[in-house]
């Protein structure tokens, strides 16, 4: 029987190979005929995704999983990698099961596989979509060389809450910008054709609204209006779909009382019907069985039914489908037609990846040898890390400039802090199989860049508790030096999944440490490396130079040294608002005006008694070693009709004495609407490069489509009326002009 099938499968596969251009019909016929031959158990196997138990010491395969693969009861594996290991697993599926259906191999390739690029939040600060797409392309190549064919990325969750640890994985707070980033990543991972063995299937996640977890606590409840959901949280998902994303992952949270994993409104109504998504939907890790804890399902069996009926195809790790779906079918709680359609979505993906042509196409030891940690990967890791860095402050100390530091300096430089000589934490959260021994530490990067300087290193203090026993040494080291570089921030476990923090100050004794070092009176440059905005108000008040370096990956130390030396002029701009303290959260630039907008002379206006409303640093903010001046914001018309375009131009001049890059931002405000509109909304941006004294006229065009929103009746329309347009280098410092949209 088995042999007979393999023979049949081969004939079909040969036909398929010949048909690189096979049409949709042949593709469907192939998959449909396969489904006809499948037993119910084999079908459920295709809807099941289990983790391999890859341990830190290397791969192991629990007997149970092995048998499940061999019997066709588990058709997909994640967290298994390397060509050799995945070949072994694939052989079990292809050679030992009755139908020989190949496995999908998924993994969280979030910002790299073994060569690690900056965390996504950092890379988003580059505002360079080409760079972001290239990072995705290169990480896909590297991961696909390591036996993988599916990444659980892009993570496109918007958040207004830096307490939420997963802010590190996304691209900030703005729906317009995050949509552009999401599309760039999908294109990068998937390339032109999924069947190309250097690409991965992408998975947009977490559908939906996971970033709005109450109080910033991971997995917490989400409750919001449909308007906010559609205007703020859904656009990056829609953009991923328009870019052709192959798969979608559910979210852990409930949304307005219904857990996302059992949410028909999200999956059947929006994703499938409204957006016409044809790909495959996978749950997040055990999120089916978690519907029991949510209080939405009676037991695991019921949870599985809710998920399948909501339009979910594949069960990640719950084993709810595996254990109970057959029984649910027998009882009439789910239909064979829904099971078949989910199986079809899975098999179509395997087909599109080319796995029926060659189940081993993503498994190639030679490619693995040539691509992983290659020079090309490391060069890009440097480029991306440099562009991710944001210069927050750069003032003179006793009349002289601290940054940039001359590469020929002969000064004695103290480098102090838990991130000064650290490899692992530079990798950041979700660093897949990132190799920490390959990471260029800050100390190493600095020594290479400043060969004539004398460096003194001190650890100072760690990430937890309040052990100040390293302070004395650090203070001594600072006193003996001409300049101090503080390397402070979070370790890689202090952000990311299950890493929410109620207090987002520098963790452990570091806040005290920097105060002590400041007391020495030495000039101090502060580097902050973290996976989220930290509340660094004291630093901002007292330290003349602050560089936000996030977690930058494999080439972290080199990238920071390039920026400190000025060989790379920093150009990063924030994609999330930095609060002064946690009491300001949620904080975001595109807020509403309120009925009592702040007025310094009127107590009864929206405000805090103890701090200003303004953030510490706004969205879009970041400095350069040069300066830019904005003039002449001009519109080609005062009015546009629904068929017309508005041309906006703004003059930007480099007024400093170095070449530099600037992210020119365009915002709009709709002054009166059938529902209230935000005080600003990003509608365009351009990253330009200017030589000293050079001026460019930066042009944008706006159409009525750009002015649409969910109006009172929930129609997505632009309403005639008065608008403001703003251009500038961040969301606060802008020039403004007016126009009208008329019928
Ligand atoms: C849980 C996370 O929420 C999700 O983002 C990730 O892809 C899966 N685990 C698999 O590791």
Confidence category of residue 430, pLDDT binned at 50, 70, 90: very high
State the CB neighbour count (10 A cutoff) for residue 215. Answer: 14
Cβ atoms 527, 485 nearer than 8 A: yes
Across the range 706-724, mean pLDDT stands at: 98
Could you tell me if 346 and 480 lie in one domain?
no
Is the C-alpha dihedral spanning 69, 73, 77, 80 positive or negative? negative
- Active-site residue set: 284
Most ligand 1 atoms within 8 A of CB, residue of 201, 285, 432, 495 to mutate: 285
Res. 493: pLDDT tops 70: yes
Tell me the pLDDT of the chain averaged across its residues: 95
pLDDT in tens, 524-579: 999 999 999 999 999 999 999 999 999 999 999 999 999 999 999 999 999 999 99
- In 278-316, which positions are buried (b, 16+ CB within 10 angstroms) versus exposed (e)? ebbbbbbbbbbbbbbebebbeebbbbbbbbbbbbbbbbb
Cα 285 to ligand 1 centre (Å): 6
Of all atoms in ligand 1, which is nearest to the CA of residue 252? 3
- Is residue 611 a part of any domain in this protein? no
Residue nearest to atom 4 of ligand 1 (CA): 284
CB-ligand 1 contact for 108 (6 Å cutoff): yes
Res. 140: pLDDT tops 50: yes
User: What is the model's pLDDT at position 60?
Assistant: 67
Question: CATH no. for residue 400?
Answer: 3.40.50.1700
User: What is the model's pLDDT at position 259?
Assistant: 98
Res. 21: pLDDT tops 50: no
User: What is the model's pLDDT at position 650?
Assistant: 98
User: What is the model's pLDDT at position 8?
Assistant: 46
Could you tell me if 215 and 282 lie in one domain?
yes
Could you tell me if 186 and 115 lie in one domain?
yes
Q: What is the DSSP string of 19-55?
A: TTT--HHHHHHHHHHHHHH--HHHHHHHTEEEE---B
Cβ atoms 179, 239 nearer than 8 A: yes
pLDDT in tens, 600-641: 999 999 999 999 999 999 999 999 999 999 999 999 999 999
Cα 204 to ligand 1 centre (Å): 11
User: What is the model's pLDDT at position 19?
Assistant: 34
Cα 281 to ligand 1 centre (Å): 14
Q: Where are the alpha helices (DSSP H) in 450-531?
A: 471-479, 510-519
CB-ligand 1 contact for 284 (6 Å cutoff): yes
CB-ligand 1 contact for 219 (6 Å cutoff): no
Could you tell me if 521 and 666 lie in one domain?
no
Res. 5: pLDDT tops 80: no
Residue nearest to atom 11 of ligand 1 (CA): 108
Could you tell me if 302 and 342 lie in one domain?
yes
Instruction: Pick the closest to residue 26 from 450, 352, 336 (CA basis).
Output: 352
Question: CATH no. for residue 129?
Answer: 3.20.20.300
- Longest C-alpha distance within the chain, in Å? 86
| Domain's final residue, options 339, 368, 397 | 368
Domain that holds residue 403: 377-584
User: What is the model's pLDDT at position 66?
Assistant: 86
Could you tell me if 353 and 398 lie in one domain?
no
Cα 149 to ligand 1 centre (Å): 16
Cα 527 to ligand 1 centre (Å): 30
d(CA 555, CA 537): 28
d(CA 466, CA 480): 25
Residue 379, C-beta contacts closer than 8 angstroms, at least 6 positions apart:
none
Number of independent structural domains in the chain = 3
Could you tell me if 360 and 414 lie in one domain?
no
Confidence category of residue 15, pLDDT binned at 50, 70, 90: very low
Res. 373: pLDDT tops 80: yes
Across the range 658-682, mean pLDDT stands at: 98
User: What is the model's pLDDT at position 56?
Assistant: 56
Confidence category of residue 7, pLDDT binned at 50, 70, 90: very low
Rounded to the nearest angstrom, the gap between the alpha carbon of residue 88 and the centroid of all alpha carbons in its chain is 32
For residue 659, what are its two tokens? 């070449």
Could you tell me if 561 and 692 lie in one domain?
no
d(CA 669, CA 682): 9
Across the range 324-338, mean pLDDT stands at: 98
Could you tell me if 7 and 118 lie in one domain?
yes
User: What is the model's pLDDT at position 427?
Assistant: 98
d(CA 664, CA 633): 12
| Domain's final residue, options 340, 368, 396 | 368
CB-ligand 1 contact for 218 (6 Å cutoff): no
Structural Rg of the chain based on CA atoms = 27
pLDDT in tens, 53-65: 776 566 666 778 8
Question: CATH no. for residue 721?
Answer: 2.60.40.10
User: What is the model's pLDDT at position 23?
Assistant: 64
User: What is the model's pLDDT at position 61?
Assistant: 67
Report CA-CA distances (Å) from 735 to 667, 731, 738.
10, 10, 11
- Is residue 613 a part of any domain in this protein? no
Res. 18: pLDDT tops 70: no
Could you tell me if 557 and 669 lie in one domain?
no
Cβ atoms 721, 670 nearer than 8 A: yes
CB-ligand 1 contact for 681 (6 Å cutoff): no
- Is residue 618 a part of any domain in this protein? no
- Is residue 231 a part of any domain in this protein? yes
- In 47-76, which positions are buried (b, 16+ CB within 10 angstroms) versus exposed (e)? bbbbebebeeeebebeeebeebbeebbbbb
Residue nearest to atom 1 of ligand 1 (CA): 285
Classify strands 628-635 and 524-529 as parallel, antiparallel or unpaired. Answer: unpaired
- Is residue 206 a part of any domain in this protein? yes
Q: Side by side, which strands form the sheet with 646-654?
A: 628-635, 646-654, 695-702
Across the range 712-726, mean pLDDT stands at: 98
Q: What is the DSSP string of 194-206?
A: TTSTT--B-EEEE
Across the range 453-474, mean pLDDT stands at: 98
| Domain's final residue, options 309, 339, 368 | 368
Most ligand 1 atoms within 8 A of CB, residue of 152, 260, 315 to mutate: 152
User: What is the model's pLDDT at position 16?
Assistant: 40
User: What is the model's pLDDT at position 4?
Assistant: 39
Res. 31: pLDDT tops 80: yes
- Is residue 595 a part of any domain in this protein? no
d(CA 552, CA 424): 11
pLDDT in tens, 286-305: 999 999 999 999 999 999 99
- In 588-627, which positions are buried (b, 16+ CB within 10 angstroms) versus exposed (e)? bbbeeeeeeeeeeeeeeeebeeeeeeebbbbbbbbbbbbe
Most ligand 1 atoms within 8 A of CB, residue of 76, 213, 284, 288 to mutate: 284
Could you tell me if 393 and 345 lie in one domain?
no
- Is residue 590 a part of any domain in this protein? no
Cα 196 to ligand 1 centre (Å): 25
Could you tell me if 515 and 481 lie in one domain?
yes
- Is residue 330 a part of any domain in this protein? yes
Residue 322, C-beta contacts closer than 8 angstroms, at least 6 positions apart:
44, 45, 48, 68, 73, 74, 315
User: What is the model's pLDDT at position 208?
Assistant: 98
């Amino acid at each position: 029987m088995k042999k007979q099938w393999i023979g049949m499968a081969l004939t079909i596969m040969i036909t398929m190979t010949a048909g690189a251009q096979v049409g949709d019909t042949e593709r469907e016929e192939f998959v449909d005929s396969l489904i006809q031959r499948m037993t119910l158990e084999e079908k459920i196997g295709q809807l099941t995704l289990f983790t391999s138990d890859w341990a830190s010491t290397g791969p192991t395969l629990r007997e149970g999983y092995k048998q499940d693969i061999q019997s066709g009861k588990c058709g997909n594996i994640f967290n298994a990698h390397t060509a050799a290991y995945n070949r072994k697993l694939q052989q079990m599926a292809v050679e030992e099961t009755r139908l020989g259906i190949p496995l999908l191999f998924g993994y969280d390739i979030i910002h790299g596989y073994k060569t690690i690029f900056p965390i996504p939040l950092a890379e988003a600060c580059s505002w360079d979509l080409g760079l972001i797409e290239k990072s995705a392309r290169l990480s896909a190549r590297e991961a696909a060389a390591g036996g993988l064919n599916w990444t659980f990325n892009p993570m496109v969750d918007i958040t207004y809450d830096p307490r939420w640890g997963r802010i590190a994985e996304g691209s900030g707070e703005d729906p317009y910008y995050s949509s552009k980033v999401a599309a760039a990543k999908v294109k990068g991972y998937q390339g032109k054709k999924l069947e190309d063995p250097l690409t991965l299937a992408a998975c947009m996640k977490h559908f939906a609204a996971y970033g709005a977890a109450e109080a910033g606590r991971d997995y917490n409840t989400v409750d919001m209006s449909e308007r906010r959901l559609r205007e703020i949280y859904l656009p990056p998902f829609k953009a991923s779909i328009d870019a052709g994303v192959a798969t979608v992952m559910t979210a852990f949270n409930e949304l307005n009382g219904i857990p996302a994993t059992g949410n028909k409104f999200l999956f059947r109504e929006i994703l499938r019907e409204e957006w016409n998504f044809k790909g495959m939907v996978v749950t997040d890790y055990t999120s089916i069985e978690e519907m029991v804890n949510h209080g939405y399902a009676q037991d695991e069996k019921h949870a599985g039914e809710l998920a399948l009926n909501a339009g979910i195809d594949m069960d990640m790790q719950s084993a709810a489908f595996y254990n109970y779906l057959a029984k649910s079918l027998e009882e009439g709680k789910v239909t064979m037609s829904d099971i078949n359609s989910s199986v079809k979505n899975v098999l179509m993906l395997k087909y599109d990846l080319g796995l029926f042509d060659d189940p081993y196409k993503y498994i190639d030891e030679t490619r693995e040898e040539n691509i992983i940690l290659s020079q090309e990967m490391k060069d890009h890791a440097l480029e991306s890390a440099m562009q991710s860095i944001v210069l927050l402050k750069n003032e003179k100390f006793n009349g002289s400039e601290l940054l940039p530091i001359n590469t020929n300096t002969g000064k004695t430089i103290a480098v102090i802090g838990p991130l000064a000589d650290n490899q692992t934490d530079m990798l950041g959260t979700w660093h897949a199989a990132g190799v920490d021994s390959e990471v260029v530490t800050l100390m190493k990067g600095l020594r290479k860049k400043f060969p004539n300087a004398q460096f003194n290193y001190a650890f100072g203090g760690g990430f937890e508790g309040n052990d100040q026993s390293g302070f004395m040494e650090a203070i001594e080291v600072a006193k003996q030096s001409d300049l101090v570089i503080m390397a402070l921030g979070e370790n890689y476990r202090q952000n990311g999944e299950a890493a929410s923090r109620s207090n987002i100050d520098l963790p452990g004794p570091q806040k005290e440490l920097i105060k002590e070092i400041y007391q020495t009176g030495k000039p101090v440059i502060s580097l902050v490396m973290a996976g989220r905005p930290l509340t660094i108000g004291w630093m901002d008040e007292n330290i003349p130079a602050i560089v936000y370096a996030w977690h930058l990956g494999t080439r972290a130390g080199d990238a920071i040294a390039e920026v400190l030396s000025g060989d790379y002029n920093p150009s990063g701009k924030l994609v999330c608002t930095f609060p002064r303290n946690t009491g300001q959260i949620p904080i975001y630039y595109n807020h509403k005006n309120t009925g009592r907008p702040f007025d310094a002379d009127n107590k009864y206006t929206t405000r805090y008694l103890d701090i200003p409303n303004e953030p510490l640093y706004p969205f879009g903010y970041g400095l350069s070693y040069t300066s830019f001046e904005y003039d002449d914001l001009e519109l080609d018309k005062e009015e546009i009709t629904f068929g017309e375009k508005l041309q906006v131009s703004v003059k930007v001049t480099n007024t400093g004495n170095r070449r530099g890059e600037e992210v020119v931002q365009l915002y709009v405000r709709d002054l009166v609407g059938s529902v209230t509109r935000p005080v600003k909304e990003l509608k365009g941006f351009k990253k330009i490069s200017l030589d000293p004294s050079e001026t460019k006229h930066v042009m944008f065009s706006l159409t009525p489509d750009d002015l649409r929103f969910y109006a009172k009746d929930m129609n997505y329309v632009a309403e005639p009326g008065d608008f403001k347009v703003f251009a500038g280098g961040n969301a606060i410092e802008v020039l403004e002009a007016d126009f009208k949209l008329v019928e």
